[in-house]
Protein backbone atom coordinates (compact mmCIF):
# COMPACT_ATOMS: atom_id res chain seq x y z
CA UNK A 1 0.00 0.00 0.00
CA UNK A 2 1.20 3.50 -0.75
CA UNK A 3 0.53 6.23 1.80
CA UNK A 4 0.64 9.92 0.92
CA UNK A 5 2.00 12.38 3.46
CA UNK A 6 -0.40 14.97 4.81
CA UNK A 7 1.08 18.40 5.29
CA UNK A 8 -1.63 19.92 7.49
CA UNK A 9 -4.54 19.00 9.65
CA UNK A 10 -7.71 21.04 9.23
CA UNK A 11 -9.11 21.25 12.79
CA UNK A 12 -12.13 23.23 11.58
CA UNK A 13 -13.10 20.14 9.59
CA UNK A 14 -14.13 18.25 12.71
CA UNK A 15 -17.87 17.73 12.64
CA UNK A 16 -19.59 15.90 15.51
CA UNK A 17 -22.67 13.92 14.49
CA UNK A 18 -25.78 13.33 16.57
CA UNK A 19 -25.66 9.94 18.26
CA UNK A 20 -21.87 9.95 18.51
CA UNK A 21 -19.06 10.01 16.04
CA UNK A 22 -17.38 12.75 14.09
CA UNK A 23 -15.77 13.53 10.76
CA UNK A 24 -12.23 14.84 10.39
CA UNK A 25 -11.14 16.35 7.09
CA UNK A 26 -7.38 16.43 6.54
CA UNK A 27 -6.61 18.52 3.47
CA UNK A 28 -3.74 20.21 1.67
CA UNK A 29 -1.74 16.98 1.44
CA UNK A 30 0.88 16.02 -1.11
CA UNK A 31 0.25 16.95 -4.77
CA UNK A 32 -2.20 14.68 -6.59
CA UNK A 33 -3.45 15.35 -10.14
CA UNK A 34 -3.76 18.59 -12.08
CA UNK A 35 -2.73 20.82 -9.18
CA UNK A 36 -5.08 19.17 -6.70
CA UNK A 37 -3.80 17.94 -3.34
CA UNK A 38 -4.61 14.77 -1.47
CA UNK A 39 -7.43 15.00 1.05
CA UNK A 40 -8.46 12.36 3.60
CA UNK A 41 -11.88 12.24 5.21
CA UNK A 42 -11.99 10.15 8.37
CA UNK A 43 -15.48 9.16 9.48
CA UNK A 44 -15.40 8.08 13.14
CA UNK A 45 -18.56 6.20 14.10
CA UNK A 46 -19.45 5.54 17.73
CA UNK A 47 -19.65 1.80 18.50
CA UNK A 48 -19.01 0.91 22.15
CA UNK A 49 -18.59 -2.77 21.32
CA UNK A 50 -15.55 -2.12 19.10
CA UNK A 51 -12.82 -1.16 21.55
CA UNK A 52 -9.95 -2.52 19.46
CA UNK A 53 -10.89 -1.97 15.83
CA UNK A 54 -9.10 -0.79 12.73
CA UNK A 55 -10.04 1.80 10.11
CA UNK A 56 -11.40 0.66 6.74
CA UNK A 57 -10.56 2.33 3.45
CA UNK A 58 -13.81 3.00 1.57
CA UNK A 59 -14.18 2.61 -2.16
CA UNK A 60 -17.98 2.57 -2.17
CA UNK A 61 -19.79 5.53 -0.56
CA UNK A 62 -23.47 4.63 -0.39
CA UNK A 63 -24.63 3.51 -3.84
CA UNK A 64 -21.80 5.22 -5.75
CA UNK A 65 -18.06 4.90 -5.98
CA UNK A 66 -16.29 7.38 -3.70
CA UNK A 67 -14.14 8.69 -6.59
CA UNK A 68 -17.28 9.74 -8.45
CA UNK A 69 -18.64 11.61 -5.43
CA UNK A 70 -15.61 13.54 -4.16
CA UNK A 71 -12.97 13.12 -6.86
CA UNK A 72 -9.89 10.96 -7.30
CA UNK A 73 -7.72 12.85 -4.81
CA UNK A 74 -10.02 12.27 -1.83
CA UNK A 75 -9.64 9.20 0.35
CA UNK A 76 -12.52 8.06 2.55
CA UNK A 77 -11.76 6.15 5.75
CA UNK A 78 -14.43 4.66 8.02
CA UNK A 79 -13.53 3.78 11.59
CA UNK A 80 -16.18 2.23 13.79
CA UNK A 81 -14.77 2.41 17.28
CA UNK A 82 -15.50 3.25 20.91
CA UNK A 83 -13.08 6.14 20.41
CA UNK A 84 -15.72 7.78 18.21
CA UNK A 85 -18.10 8.02 21.16
CA UNK A 86 -18.22 11.08 23.41
CA UNK A 87 -16.90 10.65 26.95
CA UNK A 88 -19.53 9.69 29.51
CA UNK A 89 -20.51 12.54 31.84
CA UNK A 90 -23.24 12.94 34.43
CA UNK A 91 -25.59 14.11 31.64
CA UNK A 92 -25.01 10.81 29.76
CA UNK A 93 -27.23 8.91 32.21
CA UNK A 94 -30.88 9.12 33.16
CA UNK A 95 -32.20 8.18 36.59
CA UNK A 96 -35.11 5.76 36.69
CA UNK A 97 -36.92 5.40 39.99
CA UNK A 98 -39.95 3.69 41.39
CA UNK A 99 -42.69 5.66 43.11
CA UNK A 100 -42.09 6.80 46.68
CA UNK A 101 -43.88 4.23 48.86
CA UNK A 102 -43.74 4.52 52.65
CA UNK A 103 -40.76 6.86 52.37
CA UNK A 104 -38.52 4.62 50.19
CA UNK A 105 -37.98 3.93 46.51
CA UNK A 106 -35.59 2.04 44.21
CA UNK A 107 -33.32 3.88 41.79
CA UNK A 108 -31.54 2.58 38.69
CA UNK A 109 -29.65 4.30 35.86
CA UNK A 110 -29.39 3.78 32.12
CA UNK A 111 -27.57 5.50 29.29
CA UNK A 112 -29.41 8.51 27.86
CA UNK A 113 -26.91 8.65 25.00
CA UNK A 114 -24.22 6.34 23.74
CA UNK A 115 -20.88 7.18 25.33
CA UNK A 116 -17.61 5.50 26.27
CA UNK A 117 -15.08 5.92 29.07
CA UNK A 118 -15.26 8.94 31.35
CA UNK A 119 -17.75 8.69 34.20
CA UNK A 120 -18.99 5.11 34.91
CA UNK A 121 -22.68 4.21 35.04
CA UNK A 122 -23.85 4.78 38.65
CA UNK A 123 -24.80 1.69 40.65
CA UNK A 124 -28.44 0.87 41.26
CA UNK A 125 -29.73 1.70 44.74
CA UNK A 126 -32.49 0.09 46.80
CA UNK A 127 -34.54 1.56 49.63
CA UNK A 128 -33.49 5.15 49.00
CA UNK A 129 -35.25 7.52 51.39
CA UNK A 130 -37.69 9.90 49.72
CA UNK A 131 -40.47 12.33 50.47
CA UNK A 132 -43.50 13.16 48.40
CA UNK A 133 -43.65 16.82 47.41
CA UNK A 134 -47.26 17.77 46.80
CA UNK A 135 -46.14 20.39 44.27
CA UNK A 136 -44.60 17.70 42.04
CA UNK A 137 -47.82 15.69 41.93
CA UNK A 138 -49.73 18.29 39.92
CA UNK A 139 -48.94 20.06 36.68
CA UNK A 140 -49.62 23.75 36.14
CA UNK A 141 -52.80 22.87 34.23
CA UNK A 142 -53.95 20.73 37.17
CA UNK A 143 -53.33 23.61 39.58
CA UNK A 144 -55.26 26.06 37.36
CA UNK A 145 -58.17 23.61 37.08
CA UNK A 146 -58.23 23.09 40.86
CA UNK A 147 -58.22 26.88 41.42
CA UNK A 148 -61.10 27.29 38.99
CA UNK A 149 -63.04 24.50 40.73
CA UNK A 150 -62.36 26.13 44.12
CA UNK A 151 -63.72 29.47 42.93
CA UNK A 152 -66.82 27.73 41.52
CA UNK A 153 -67.32 25.91 44.84
CA UNK A 154 -67.17 29.22 46.75
CA UNK A 155 -69.71 30.78 44.36
CA UNK A 156 -72.07 27.80 44.72
CA UNK A 157 -71.78 27.90 48.55
CA UNK A 158 -72.51 31.66 48.50
CA UNK A 159 -75.59 31.17 46.29
CA UNK A 160 -76.90 28.32 48.47
CA UNK A 161 -76.37 30.35 51.68
CA UNK A 162 -78.15 33.38 50.16
CA UNK A 163 -81.08 31.18 49.02
CA UNK A 164 -81.30 29.52 52.45
CA UNK A 165 -81.51 32.93 54.17
CA UNK A 166 -84.10 34.13 51.66
CA UNK A 167 -86.29 31.06 52.20
CA UNK A 168 -85.90 31.38 55.98
CA UNK A 169 -87.14 34.99 55.83
CA UNK A 170 -90.04 34.03 53.55
CA UNK A 171 -91.01 31.15 55.82
CA UNK A 172 -90.89 33.47 58.82
CA UNK A 173 -93.25 35.90 57.02
CA UNK A 174 -95.54 33.03 56.09
CA UNK A 175 -95.76 31.85 59.70
CA UNK A 176 -96.46 35.40 60.84
CA UNK A 177 -99.24 35.77 58.25
CA UNK A 178 -100.67 32.39 59.24
CA UNK A 179 -100.70 33.38 62.90
CA UNK A 180 -102.37 36.70 62.14
CA UNK A 181 -105.00 35.01 59.98
CA UNK A 182 -105.77 32.51 62.75
CA UNK A 183 -106.23 35.29 65.34
CA UNK A 184 -108.57 37.28 63.16
CA UNK A 185 -110.89 34.27 62.70
CA UNK A 186 -110.94 33.38 66.38
CA UNK A 187 -111.82 36.90 67.64
CA UNK A 188 -115.57 37.64 67.95
CA UNK A 189 -116.98 40.55 66.05
CA UNK A 190 -119.05 43.31 67.76
CA UNK A 191 -121.86 43.20 65.20
CA UNK A 192 -122.97 39.74 66.24
CA UNK A 193 -123.79 40.81 69.80
The band of 157, judged by pLDDT with boundaries at 50, 70 and 90, is very high
State the pLDDT at residue 51: 85
On the question of pLDDT at 9 being above 50, the answer is no
The band of 187, judged by pLDDT with boundaries at 50, 70 and 90, is low
Cβ proximity of 116 and 48 under 8 Å: yes
Cβ proximity of 71 and 36 under 8 Å: yes
Q: What is the DSSP string of 11-41?
A: GGG-EE-TTS-EEEEE-S-SB-STT-B-EEE
The model's pTM: 0.49
On the question of pLDDT at 183 being above 70, the answer is yes
Cβ proximity of 50 and 82 under 8 Å: yes
Quick: pLDDT tens for 67-93. 776 778 888 888 888 888 888 888 888
12, 15, 60, 66 from 71: Cα distances, Å: 21, 21, 13, 7
State the pLDDT at residue 191: 58
State the pLDDT at residue 29: 83
State the pLDDT at residue 188: 60
% residues pLDDT > 70 (the chain): 84
Out of 30-39, 58-67, 105-114, 139-148, least confident range:
58-67
Q: What DSSP element (H or E) covers 106?
A: strand 104-111
For 174, half-sphere exposure in the C-beta direction (CA atoms, 13 angstrom radius) is 6
On the question of pLDDT at 145 being above 70, the answer is yes
State the pLDDT at residue 152: 97
On the question of pLDDT at 15 being above 50, the answer is yes
State the pLDDT at residue 153: 97
Amino acid sequence: KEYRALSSYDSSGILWRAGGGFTVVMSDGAPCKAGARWETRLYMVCDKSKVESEPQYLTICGDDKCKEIAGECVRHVLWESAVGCPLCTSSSFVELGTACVRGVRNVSYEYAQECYGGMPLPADASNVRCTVDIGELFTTADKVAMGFMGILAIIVIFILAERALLYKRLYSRYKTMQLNAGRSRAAPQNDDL
